[in-house]
Amino acid sequence: MGYARKVGWVTAGLVIGAGACYCIYRLTRGRKQNKEKMAEGGSGDVDDAGDCSGARYNDWSDDDDDSNESKSIVWYPPWARIGTEAGTRARARARARATRARRAVQKRASPNSDDTVLSPQELQKVLCLVEMSEKPYILEAALIALGNNAAYAFNRDIIRDLGGLPIVAKILNTRDPIVKEKALIVLNNLSVNAENQRRLKVYMNQVCDDTITSRLNSSVQLAGLRLLTNMTVTNEYQHMLANSISDFFRLFSAGNEETKLQVLKLLLNLAENPAMTRELLRAQVPSSLGSLFNKKEDKEVILKLLVIFENINDNFKWEENEPTQNQFGEGSLFFFLKEFQVCADKVLGIESHHDFLVKVKVGKFMAKLAEHMFPKSQE
């Protein structure tokens, strides 16, 4: 009886180990092939969302970078690595099961999809790995699989219904930057859905704090900015970021080009909402903000920043709000725009910019600024 019990335990261990091998094989195999499926409605669209106006910025995360991907790696149990007959058989069984499962998934999937599309049952197993495992490499592989599958609209509902949102959000508490980045990517792709946004809003403050305090220009910071950009595509949750706008301007001034552009996408979403205009004008901006208007600054950065200023300028009724202008403190964006001559000197300093579009945009911005700030002087 003792011998039979031992054989039974060994057999059970081989079965469980082979199953785990297959899971990790599937998790580390796939690449996200069709980015267009992440955004069926194009930029500015959210699944089932109806209050998105204008050209809002929606950021779906690319997780298909070769440097972040394990290619066709099968993780075998320790006993399968030994050059023994039992180890050889265990490896062969793991490969055979992975092949059979992959073919089954391909039969169920649509013709245009690849073998990374998981069934609801398989997604449930992946979520169990995320919830139960403490191994960083397993968490990373599982989160990559979830991020790839969350790129498809139908899977966003499935993952939510399986209880995946709080499971993935719990990973944000980890100190491992790679795992945290992957968790943010999953939430980012899941957030392109109105119902998911309603449930993810409870994590916005945590994501915002982590993004601001993360290492400047880090992958975690960029992933957090992308998630916040998606969450502000509609007007419903923008007010939750009101107290952090000054920090976003600080990141914009200090960050590299990629960080600058990502912050601008977020701020542009806020600037298109008239209800956020006062919060934007109240935000403290670095004194170095004006120095960004120079020939060395990237063209796209200058143009997006000018669009933000134009939207704020159009949404704020300067004459009607004149009695309340003392509510804005020194160093605020309001005073940056209010000091017309100083602002004009800095902005007009790039009229000699080599790009024609930049010069035209600067001219239009200055004309609008003058018209709104000094309407009486033009009578």
Pull the structure tokens for residue 253: 């001034």
**From start to end of the chain, where are the E strands?**
none
pLDDT value of residue 98: 56
| Dihedral Cα 238, 242, 246, 251, nearest 10 deg | -30
Query: In this model, does residue 162 exceed pLDDT 90?
Result: yes
Torsion-angle region of 276 (φ positive above 0: left; ψ -120 to 50: alpha; else: beta): alpha
| pTM, rounded to two decimals | 0.72
Which tens digits make up the pLDDT trace of 35-89? 333 333 334 456 654 444 445 666 654 443 433 333 333 444 454 444 566 667 7
Cα 362-273-366 angle, rounded to 5 deg: 15
At position 57, the amino acid (one-letter code) is Y
pLDDT value of residue 158: 96
pLDDT value of residue 295: 63
Average pLDDT over residues 289-300: 76
| Distance, C-alpha 86 to centroid of its chain | 45
Measuring CA to CA, how many Å separate 198 from each of 124, 165, 214, 229, 237?
22, 11, 25, 15, 9
Query: In this model, does residue 34 exceed pLDDT 70?
Result: no
Query: Bridge partners of 350?
Result: none
Which tens digits make up the pLDDT trace of 10-30? 444 444 444 444 554 554 454
Measured CA to CA, the distance from residue 254 to residue 222 in angstroms comes to 14
Nearest to 294 by CA among 362, 247, 223, 239: 362
Average pLDDT over residues 81-99: 65
Q: Are 80 and 94 in contact (CB under 8 A)?
A: yes
pLDDT value of residue 55: 55
Measured CA to CA, the distance from residue 49 to residue 230 in angstroms comes to 12
Nearest to 350 by CA among 302, 307, 293, 303: 293
Average pLDDT over residues 277-284: 94
